[in-house]
Structures are given as C-alpha cells and as structure tokens.
Structure 1
Amino acid sequence: MANKKGRRRTFGAVRKLPSGRYQARYPGADDVMRPAPETFETARDADDWLAEKQTEIRRGDWQDPDAGAVNVEEYALRWVKERRLSDTTDELYRRLLRLHILPAFGDLDLDQITAPRVRSWRSERLDTTGAETTVAKSYRLFKAILETAVEDELIRRNPCRIRGAGKESAAERPVASVDQVDALANPLGLRWRLMVYLGAYGPLRPEEQAELRRKDVDLDNLTVRVRQAAPELTSGKRAEGPTKSEAGKRLVVLPAFLYIELRRHLDWYAERGPDGLLFVGEKGKPFRRSTFGRKWRKARAKVGLPEGFRFYDLRHTGHTLTTRSGATLKDTMVRAGQSTERAALIYQHSDLERQKEVAAGLDQLVRGQRKKPDDQASGTDLARDA
C-alpha cells in the first residue's frame, strides 16, 4: 500500500477503519506482526508512528510490548527464589513482599506499574505504618526486583525513581553505661551473664554467640573466634550458617576483666567436647531467642532501661566505649565484623558525654601549654610592658 504522497511503504501497513481512523501494523524484531496500541486520525500520523518503530528496531531499542505482561507476584517470588539468599534474608524479603508490596501490586502485570503508582504506594505505607525504616527496606527491595525486570527486557524503565526513598535513617541507638551493663548481667543469672558481657565488650552479635563452640574459645589468650552464626527465624528454627558477611569471621580479643567470667562459664555451663555449644539452656538445648527474651525484658525493667533498649544495643554500647578509648575506624570495623565503613561509622558518633571529654582534654592541653616558669613572662605581659 502506498501513502498519500505516492511512496510505497516499505515497513509495516496502514489501513483505514470504518470509523474513518487509521490502524498501523508492523513486524517486530521477532517478525511477528503487531498492531499499534492506538488508532490514528490521519494516515500521515500512522506513517510517522511506523517510522519511529522502525528506528527503534534498527537501533536495537525495540521492546516486545507484550513482554511486560508478567504477573508481579509470580515474578517477585521467582526473583527471591533465584537469589539463593541466606535463611534470614529470604525470610525478610518474603515478609516485606507479603505485608507491604504484594497487597498493592501483586495482581498487576509488570508493565502496569508506573512511577505515580509507586509514589502513591510509598506514601500510603508511610501514612499507614509510620515505620520509615520498614518502608525504606520495602522500596529498596521492590526497586531491585524491577531493576532485574529492566535487565530481562520486560519493562523499559524502572518506575521506582524516588530519590532517597530507599535510604534508612535510623534513630540514634541508646548507649548503656558500664554500671548498667553490670546491672543487666546480674539478674540474668550466672548461666546467661556472659552473653551480656560478650555482647557489650566483644562485641558479638546474638546470632554469633548462639553458634559459639568450646573450640572457638582460647582462655589462655583470652580470645573468641567467630566462625559461623545461628540466627533464629520467626518460625523458631535455628538457621545455622555463615556469618552476616565475610568480615564477620574474625578473632576477637577480649578485655582482661572477662577472664574469670569466661573460665567460670566454660567450667559450669558450656557443653563438653570441642564442638560443644558455649550457650545452652537449663535443659541442655541450644540458645533460644524467645526464652532469653523473657529474661532480658525482666532484667531491663529491673535496671530501669527503656523498653526500646535491645540486646543488640549492647553491641552499640561496647563499640561506643571502644571508640572513646581511642580505637580507629579500622579497629572498629575489624572488631565489629563489619565489611563497610558506613556500618562502622554508626559507632563513631559523638554524644554529649564524648563532647565533654573532648572539651576536658582540650582544657587540659591548653592549661599545660600555658604553664610557664615563674621567671618567664607571658606574651600578654610582654605586650603590656612594651
């Protein structure tokens, strides 16, 4: 069919419909004829649209318009499965999908998700939950899934384009004093008090402590080697496996004041044999977060610490004290088992007490510099006498 100017059309086809409008059809890169998603008022408009499609194909920019007709829920769940994630990360991603992402997008196809829809969803989640950190995690996960859809050429562009939406800005975590750490350890009893001290002064993650074995402890050199971790899933299952990152595998040197605590625990409570668990319950079972949690809440209330103070905050406490003692950023990263400076910098904050210490140190330095022999006049005195 020729166009109105008499040129023979070399790409696609245009026909006039009974309505008077024009329909365009073209062969995609796969040679399958496809109609335009809309009709046109004139044949010229249809020709122009075909020319754009032809250019897309020549440049390699063409995308199958039916490719995005993939159900979001099916694609997202397959995305999680294909990642071969750790048990804890897999559980987190599936929970975020179930509670926050799929209720809004699960029934849609990938190509139906638009930037305005994403903005509305995020706003609704923030208003409904008030949980900024959880919403940031959900947004970041959804963005990663859709970025893979772009790579798979199912959608042309990622609709998650809100600047800073995936950034978490957690509130400053509380820090306990040395006296408060001791006060927490005492009511937990002899079986569990070492966990408090290793959490604060190790500082070891609770899931790392749950998998410590006798062979990991060197009492003579006062060290603990972290090899693996055993986080507890919401189902109650112990997910024994690798540490949070490669940096999590480390040798931790403990402060000397923990020698008696460590020796006593090994003698009284740890399982026998080199592979014996360091921490087991009264009935000889591995450490359980749920059981320990009840003891922890009672101890926290007895000490008078706020409900928001978590066992994990002992780790924050210990590293804050470590940085105050002069540890460098690298020291902090190694001791914490952290792979990024960003994570380690969480512990490098400067609170009011630290600012007082800095001011006191500056005061001492200046006073020391100002001290002169009695027979030596100060610069101010010399200026005054001139």
Structure 2
Amino acid sequence: MPPRRKRRRSYGSVRKLPSGRYQVRYPGPDGLLRPADRTFPTVTDADVWLSRKRIEIEEGRWVDPAHGEATVQDWGARWLASVSPQLKHTTQASYRSLIASRINPSLGGHELSSLRPIAVTEWVAQMRRAGLSPSRIRQAYRVLSQIMESAVDNGLIVTTPCRGVRLPRMPQSEPHILTPEEAARIVESAPAPHDLLIALLAFNGLRIGEAFALRRGDIDVSRRLLVVDENLAEANGALVFDTPKSHQKRTLALAASLAERLGTYLTGLPEDSEELLFTNRDGNPLRYNQWRKAHFNPAVSAAGLGDITPHDLRASHGTWVADRYGVMTAAHRLGHSNASVTTRHYARPVAGRDSEVAEAADAWMTGKDGASGT
C-alpha cells in the first residue's frame, strides 16, 4: 500500500505520530515554527486548532508560549518591585508578607501559563481549611489577582486564572455608635494628654494613626484649625510615618473648647513644629496596642462603658455629622474621597430618627404643622 500523502496546507503543518495522534506546528508572527501545546486524536481536530491559532495571530491576540514559562514567584517579585514606589509602606509590607507566606508556598512554582482557575479555587479552599480569616484570604487573593492581571497586561498570558473563584464572605460587624455624652465621659476619664488624643478621635473623626502622627505645626490654635497630612502605622513591627489613608490630606475646624485645651497643652511642648504632640514616657511615638491597653481601655471602663474601640469613636463622629450636616460633610471630616465609603462603613442611622420622619410624613400628608399641631 503506497504511503499516505500529507495534506497540503497554506498555513502550518500537521503530521501523524507513531502513536496515531497528530502533531501541529505553526509559524508565529516572527516566522519561527512552534509546536502546539498538545497533540490531537484526529486530523480534523488538529486542523481546527491550527485555524483558530491562525485567527488568533491575525487578530493580535497571540502570546508567545515562552513568555508564560515564567513562574508565579518570579513574576510576582518583578510585579511587586514595579508597583512598590506607588504603595504606602504598610501596603508594601502586607503584599510582601502575603506573597511570601501564602502565594509562593502553594502557587509560586507554577508557570504563569499553566495556572488554571481550578488551582486558584483549590488554593482558596486550602487557606479556609487552615483557618485563615475571610479578610486574610481575600487579601491574598487580591494580591494574586493583581499579579496575574499584570501578566495579562504585559502579554505573558492571554487571560487571568483569577476568575469565577468564590471567596469567603466578610462577617458584618457593626461599629458601636456612642452618643456625644458617652464619648465625652471617656475623654473626661482619661489622663492628660491622652484625653486630648481621645477627644480628637471622637470630636474630629481622626484615625488613630493620624492622631499618633500629629505634630505641633499641625495645630493652628488662633484659627482653630487642624491639618491632617500624616499617618503613623506599624509595618512588620516597625513604625512608619506615611500619608493618610487614600492620601487624603485635609484641614479640619476645631471646637473652640478643644482648641483652647490644645493651646494650653502646646505651651508645655518644645517650639519645634515637627515635635510630636503625643508620645510615650520615653518620648517615642505611640504604639497602638500599648496605648490602648495603658490609656484607652482604662478610660472606657472608668466611663462606665465596655467593648468600645478607638475606631468606634471615629464611626460615632461620622454618624453625628452625617445625621446633622449630611454625608458629604461627614466624608470630608473623615478623609474619604468617596461618600459611599462613609455610609458603608461609618455613618449609621441615629436611634429615633425614623419615628421623627414618620411624624413629619404625617404632617406632610395632612398638611398640618407637626410642631404646632395645627
């Protein structure tokens, strides 16, 4: 029997292997012949694959398979080095920790082109079985997603494997909204100067790191103004001064009584405008856990309250301001670039307001003045 003649093709080639399967070779945009990443059971399957590859190249969607041979670990390191200059120090430390402890041990050895959604799904399930919190799992997944999206953007892979993955839901925890009177009791129960620090959390809505980072030059007593342009945070045990969250520098008005008390306190500090307002006994920057245990928690207990966090004071401030002056004003006070963040995480309905709205609605419907009863 004469040997079977090869089918002539205008693009690429298909040949039958001794195993009976078919191998495809095709020219890339650079003219180099490359084999398909798999063999095919029939010549028809091989021809279909070859046709699709040709269309992919003609439409500019082709990716050199060699590019996808880089590992997740190698590309992750390159990606982190490229984005680090734009990240806050705490974010850099968080990303580095997640890559080293969560991504590389499980997925780092995979070639970019070989990582599939099922592997990512299994990785997420593995973290859940290990008892990681939903927040930590979502953070790790978000970093991996950014690494893989960068690989797509740079033409190393066609699509990201971080798709269709179900992540654990975040528990819905409501902040404890205090009344202004309750917050004032905590301030009165704290020793100086920590009473002023707590007052800035409750009555100016500062983040704890913003309050820790305040300097003498940030306070203008005569104009009753406060400038928030720095944040103090811990990154892998080290204290780092950086810009506020979302880089939102802002100037806030101070209550007259608070400005007066701050003015009195400033007279006892050095004249250096860079002098920190609040430090520990050794003159060093405050650390959150130490400060909360030594000064905040005792003040809460002395005020007859319990289960209150410093963050609750900020959330309470946002609620008071939003209730009386609107969400946009609250967003400015809290340093949010988007008011939706204020309503989603901070401002909460004030107790009793719904009943007041119902009474007002009755007046609107009847045309009677609810206040006068006429």
Fold conserved between structures, TM > 0.5: yes
Contact 2:121–2:165 under 8 Å retained in 1: no
Q: Partners of 1:93 and 1:231 in 2: how far apart?
A: 15
Contact 2:316–2:347 under 8 Å retained in 1: no
Alignment correspondent of 2:36: 36
Change (3 A) 1:31 1:185: same
Q: Partners of 2:42 and 2:361 in 1: how far apart?
A: 81
Alignment correspondent of 2:313: 314
Aligned-pair CA distance for 1:225: 1.2
Which letter maps to 1:240? Answer: F
Change (3 A) 1:293 1:78: farther
Q: Partners of 1:258 and 1:202 in 2: how far apart?
A: 10
Which letter maps to 2:92? Answer: D
Aligned-pair CA distance for 1:136: 2.4
Alignment correspondent of 2:293: 294
Q: Partners of 1:128 and 1:360 in 2: how far apart?
A: 53
Which letter maps to 2:347? Answer: Q
Aligned-pair CA distance for 1:5: 8.2
Aligned-pair CA distance for 1:148: 1.1
Change (3 A) 1:229 1:80: same
Task: Give SS of 2:25's match.
Answer: strand
Contact 2:315–2:347 under 8 Å retained in 1: no
Q: Partners of 2:88 and 2:168 in 1: how far apart?
A: 21
Q: Which runs of 5+ in 1 are unaligned?
A: 373-386
Task: Give SS of 1:371's match.
Answer: coil
Task: Give SS of 2:226's match.
Answer: strand
1:97 aligns with 2:95: no
Aligned-pair CA distance for 1:127: 4.6
Alignment correspondent of 1:226: 228
Alignment correspondent of 2:271: 272
Alignment correspondent of 1:172: 174
Percentage of pairs with the same residue: 30
Q: Extract structure 1 runs of 4+ deviating beyond 4 A.
A: 3-7, 163-170, 301-307, 356-367
Contact 1:271–1:280 under 8 Å retained in 2: no
- Aligned residues: CA RMSD: 3.0
Task: Give SS of 1:24's match.
Answer: strand
Which letter maps to 2:195? Answer: R
Alignment of 1:43-192 (within 5 A): 43-83=43-83, 84=85, 85-129=87-131, 131-162=133-164, 165=167, 170-192=172-194
Summarize deviations over 1:258-285 as a string: whole Å, max 9, x none. 23432232133x4432232211222222
Contact 1:63–1:153 under 8 Å retained in 2: yes
Which letter maps to 1:242? Answer: T
The alignment's TM-score, normalised by the length of structure 1, stands at 0.83
Change (3 A) 1:327 1:347: farther
Summarize deviations over 1:241-262 as a string: whole Å, max 9, x none. 322234x211111223323432
Alignment correspondent of 2:245: 244
Contact 2:152–2:160 under 8 Å retained in 1: yes
Aligned-pair CA distance for 1:316: 0.7
Q: Partners of 2:325 and 2:4 in 1: how far apart?
A: 80
Q: Partners of 2:99 and 2:234 in 1: how far apart?
A: 20
Which letter maps to 2:243? Answer: P
Task: Give SS of 1:75's match.
Answer: helix
Q: Partners of 2:125 and 2:242 in 1: how far apart?
A: 37
Q: Partners of 2:214 and 2:226 in 1: how far apart?
A: 8
Summarize deviations over 1:138-168 as a string: whole Å, max 9, x none. 2222222211111112221122223784986
Contact 2:224–2:259 under 8 Å retained in 1: yes
Alignment correspondent of 2:26: 26
Change (3 A) 1:9 1:350: same
Change (3 A) 1:4 1:56: farther
Task: Give SS of 2:222's match.
Answer: coil
Q: Partners of 1:301 and 1:32 in 2: how far apart?
A: 75
Which letter maps to 1:46? Answer: A
Contact 1:67–1:154 under 8 Å retained in 2: yes
Change (3 A) 1:187 1:142: same
Contact 1:137–1:166 under 8 Å retained in 2: no
Q: Partners of 1:351 and 1:368 in 2: how far apart?
A: 20
Q: Which runs of 5+ in 2 are unaligned?
A: none
> When the two structures are aligned, how many residues end up with a matched partner?
365
Aligned-pair CA distance for 1:321: 1.7
Contact 1:139–1:166 under 8 Å retained in 2: no
Q: Partners of 1:339 and 1:65 in 2: how far apart?
A: 42
Between 216-225 and 40-49, the greater mean CA deviation after superposition: 40-49
Task: Give SS of 1:118's match.
Answer: helix
Alignment of 1:254-269 (within 5 A): 254-268=254-268
Which letter maps to 1:278? Answer: L
Q: Partners of 1:76 and 1:306 in 2: how far apart?
A: 44
Which letter maps to 1:104? Answer: S
Which letter maps to 1:343? Answer: V
Summarize deviations over 1:108-148 as a string: whole Å, max 9, x none. 22222211222232234345436223322222222222111
